[in-house]
Structure 1
Amino acid sequence: MSARDDVLALQQRMGESIVGQQHMVERLLLGLLADGHLLVEGLPGLAKTRAIKMLARNLEAKLSRIQFTPDLLPADITGSEVYYSEGGKGEFRFQAGPIFANLVLADEVNRSPAKVQAALLEAMEERQVTVGGTTHKLDPLFLVMATQNPIEQEGTYPLPEAQMDRFLMHVNVTYPAADAEAQIVALARAEESGAASNAQGAAAQRLAPEVIFAARAEIHGIHVSDAVARYMVALVHATREPKAVDDELDRWIQVGVSPRGSIGLDKVARAYAWLRGHDFVSPEDVQAVVHEVFRHRLILSYEAHAAGVSADAAIDRLVQQVAVA
């Protein structure tokens, strides 16, 4: 089987266990293929934790979960040096924290103060942790999925806009359809009696990290024409100079997308095209992923907030107004 066949089979297996959230499953795989991190926002019980657990179950990968709380310390994430004494001699040894895993679930990331958030985001960006003057590299297969609950603001510490830029995509998770909810209930009922056999069956089909690395190499070779590259850049620049594109956008957008957004849009669009079996990126591929890449990078004006305009609405208008090259 090719790397794409293996990834599609992985997507299908995850879809069988995560009913009604195909969009989230696909975006999680896109983050893995594009070698980026995800900020996932949704109400409780929408299978956010289950999604990354199922991904870890189907990959030869170590999963760690960090529950963010107000009393969490940076060392609780990165690890710290611990003093060991043996035979009358003592020494400090580095005790690795939960960030040293392949897949990291940062649950309710906005419940910890800025210092803790910064420790996580620095490790995400640098792919390394420095403690006591020694640098410790993270694994090449490394993905952080941070979650947020949109309905609870009391006792939380919102991520600074500049730091949210470290996430490749911001994925919104919504309620499943009624038919899917009936399947979810039936699936939960079935798992009560056969959870052990289901886990063993999934473990027998785990993908090696080399499959993901091979897929990334193929994605790197996906062709992006000059016209599509200009279209992606035009979308980014329209957020920085919205007045040249549309009066409504000029009133709505206060701060536009950073160069990380340009790079991210290119990476995710290529991964999306590869997953669809294409050997080139089309404008439709760009439009399919632009919301997740731009959503957390746009800073809307007070006027937009007062009018109830969301980032998605601004991106919708952006796509309408910027012509395909």
Structure 2
Amino acid sequence: MRIAVIGAGRMGAIRAEDLLSGGAEVTLFNRRDNVAKELAQKLNCSSAEYADLLKLDFDGYVVATATNSHIAILDQLIPLGKPILCEKPISLTVEETDLVIEKSKKHGTEIQVGFQRRFDPPISVAAHKVSSGQVGTLYAMHMYAHDHQPSTLEFLEGSGSIYRDLHVHDFDLVRWITQSEIKKVYASQAVREHQQYAKYNDADVSLISLTTESGVQVAITGTRHNPVGHDVRFEVFGSKDSIAVGLNLKTPIHDIEGEISFSEIRYTGFIERFRQAFAQESHAFIEFVDGKTANPCPPINARQALRVAIACEESILSGSAVEL
């Protein structure tokens, strides 16, 4: 199986490494050909000139470039009719996302969206416990999304917002785990410490209250800085059980009672926290390209999660809850 990985940065390297370990033959492409060549030498795989991307034949494509380049690349790849794995988000606007969905349907092209948290083994187990009824009637969910280090100005320029970049993963998990669309959101935010966020009307702390159409209430807290490490976890409360995901010896929080023997070194970033999830997701793409499984995460999921993120921004502006 031949897979083209477009992008030779951090995510391109991860995708290429995982696809290679899954048995795929990988060719790297980057707008700067020398960067693709250097990474290919490190990973012991092939690279080719970016200008030849559409001239060569592949079984599938991975789009692992900056968000603002996704639409242009997808516009070229979709007519080929081959499976595509695109990192989230497809776009920062619903309108562009809809155009991609419409065009992919026209050409019969399947796009798998990179919501890697779905492939995190503990999260998958939690989702199964909910869907199988082991948790019972869902009462509520509490979610935590706390980055280790604050973002750079260069990153903030194209990230969209804390909702479109960070919390979009939480919104996808809420929909996936509850199997229900999100009906209403209320959001508040602030710049508490890191002033670069104010330049882009963004925030370094956020608090979200949302309700699903099925009636599940969810509280989400986010920060762009956690001095202890990268903290992504959640709790699900139901009539039969209460479960926690992401609470382990590497969770970056201090236990005042001192009863949990946390590791000295905690999660330092999202890649370390979800390294296994990325591998599972890339291997799932191989199965998908090979026709062994259905698309595990179609682009409608990117669209719906993005709608919630935008509703949060509208809530900030209006100071009131927003219905979707």
Q: Which has the larger share of strand?
A: 2
Q: Which has the larger share of helix?
A: 1
Q: Calculate the TM-score normalised by the size of structure 2.
A: 0.28
Q: Calculate the TM-score normalised by the size of structure 1.
A: 0.28
